[in-house]
């Protein structure tokens, strides 16, 4: 049984500025947490740069040209209230997408059981025609469409336990009944979308949770709504938008989860992946802004991936 770990050095060089929470130190904390002897069995791979054709499965050519054309030669350029580019940002964004597409290729062709992509910038807020919320290209959505179009999988699901709603993934999926998106998220909170009434063509499940609600309501929403809907969808591939900013230590939100919750939900998603998808599961990093909590949470998540 093999778990792959994809990352790329350019993901450490994307620099939105010294006071920005989505900092290179996040990825350093993740990689440090996965460096101990317990993680020696991870098969570490360098993420390739994504093919433009893959990015264009989700994003408009206008969006891709707008983002890549705005990359500064030096310093910083803001393309959204909180989305900032540095000289390495385009390369980092393309390798973040490439991590997910390569991981999907490897898992679908049975080179490995599952994979974790330790990448930044994150992706789930990036809409087909808009970068926002620290996200340039939607890594998970692009991976899902590649799995459908290149590997001919019928049904692909993304489950998103980041504390923010993945408006970008929802926008990319909401009209296609063979794509499934489920999100638990704090509400009200950025970006404001993700009401229970947003159901797409019956393929979108949103569970808004109140600040301070903690483990009980999170697990109940997964057990009561997300997991049954995912089970009924019968995915051929399970993708996880793995943000760890619902952790109780996170400075950007107050959902009050801890590592045990991430262990629990990872086990549940693996169960469903085995029931319907031959175990095929790829997880990609989204948010998580307390460095200690992020490292410990990723360690817990990947420990479960390696245990299957």
- Measured from the CB atom, is 64 or 84 closer to Zn ion? 84
Binding residue count for Zn ion, defined by CB under 5 A: 5
Stretch that binds Zn ion, among 10-18, 102-110, 238-246, 271-279 (CB under 5 A): 238-246
* Least distance CB 194 / Zn ion (angstroms): 12
Compute how many other C-beta atoms are within 10 angstroms of the C-beta atom of residue 176: 17
Residue among 16, 208, 214, 243 that touches Zn ion (CB under 5 A):
243
For Zn ion, the closer CB: 246 or 273: 246
Judged by CB under 5 A, does residue 165 bind Zn ion? no
Smallest distance, Zn ion to C-beta of residue 286, A: 6
Find the binding residues for Zn ion in span 24-63 (CB under 5 A).
Answer: none
| Rounded CA separation 76/46 (Å) | 26
Q: Which is nearer to Zn ion, 127 or 162 (CB)?
A: 162
CB closer to Zn ion out of 162 and 236: 162
Q: Is the dihedral of CA 174, 204, 130, 286 positive or negative?
A: negative
Query: Residues of 241-278 as b/e, b for ≥16 C-beta within 10 angstroms?
Result: bbbbbbbbbbebbbbbbbbebbbbbbebbbebbeebbe
Q: Does 250 help bind Zn ion (rule: CB under 5 A)?
A: no
- Residue number with the shortest CB distance to Zn ion? 287
Q: Which helix (H) or strand (E) holds 132?
A: none
Does position 245 bind Zn ion by CB under 5 A? yes
Tally of residues, the chain: 308
> Does position 22 bind Zn ion by CB under 5 A?
no
Q: Which two tokens stand for residue 23?
A: 């900092």
162 touches Zn ion by CB under 5 A: yes
DSSP 150-210: TT--S-EEEEE-SSS--HHHHHHHTT-TTEEEEEEEESS-TT----TT--TTTTEEEEEE-
Taking alpha carbons only, the member of 7, 26, 41, 51 closest to residue 303 is 41
Q: Does 287 bind Zn ion (CB under 5 A)?
A: yes
The answer to whether 164 contacts Zn ion (rule: CB under 5 A) is yes
Q: State in angstroms the smallest separation of the CB of 200 from Zn ion.
A: 21
For the bound state, the minimum distance from the C-beta of residue 104 to Zn ion, rounded and expressed in Å, comes to 22
Residue 176 or 198: the one with the smaller Cβ distance to Zn ion is 198
194 contributes a contact to Zn ion by CB under 5 A = no
Applying CB under 5 A, the span of 8-16, 88-96, 161-169, 261-269 interacting with Zn ion comes to 161-169
Best CA proximity match to 134, nearest among 75, 186, 82: 82
SS3 for 148? helix
Catalytic residues: 125
State the Cα angle at 299 between 221 and 22, rounded to 5°.
Answer: 80
| Least distance to Zn ion, CB of residue 134, Å | 8
Residues that bind Zn ion (CB under 5 A): 162, 164, 243, 245, 287
């Amino acid at each position: 049984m093999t778990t792959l770990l994809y990352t790329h050095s350019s993901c450490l060089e994307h620099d939105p500025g010294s006071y920005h929470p989505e900092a290179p130190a996040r990825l350093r904390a993740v990689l440090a947490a996965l460096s101990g002897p317990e993680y020696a069995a991870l098969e570490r791979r360098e993420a390739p740069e994504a093919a433009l054709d893959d990015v264009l499965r989700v994003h408009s050519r206008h969006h891709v040209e707008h983002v890549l054309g705005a990359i500064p030669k030096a310093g910083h350029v803001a393309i959204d209230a909180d989305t900032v580019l540095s000289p390495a940002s385009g390369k980092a964004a393309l390798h973040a997408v490439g991590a997910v597409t390569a991981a999907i290729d490897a898992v679908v062709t049975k080179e490995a059981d599952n994979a974790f992509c330790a990448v930044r910038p994150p992706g789930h807020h990036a809409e087909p025609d808009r970068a926002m919320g620290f996200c340039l290209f939607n890594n998970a959505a692009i991976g899902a469409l590649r799995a459908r179009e290149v590997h001919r999988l019928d049904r692909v699901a993304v489950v998103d336990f980041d504390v923010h709603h993945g408006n970008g993934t929802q926008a990319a999926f909401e009209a296609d009944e063979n794509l499934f998106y489920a999100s638990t998220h704090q509400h009200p909170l950025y970006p404001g979308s993700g009401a229970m009434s947003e159901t797409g063509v019956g393929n979108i499940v949103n569970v808004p949770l109140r600040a301070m609600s903690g483990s009980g309501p999170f697990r109940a929403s997964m057990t009561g709504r997300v997991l049954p809907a995912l089970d009924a969808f019968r995915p051929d591939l399970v993708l996880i938008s793995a943000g760890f900013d619902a952790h109780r230590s996170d400075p950007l939100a107050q959902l009050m989860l801890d590592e045990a919750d991430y262990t629990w939900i990872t086990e549940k998603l693996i169960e469903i992946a085995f029931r319907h998808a031959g175990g095929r599961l790829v997880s990609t990093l989204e948010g998580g802004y307390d460095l200690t909590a992020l490292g410990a949470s990723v360690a817990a998540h990947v420990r479960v991936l390696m245990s299957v």
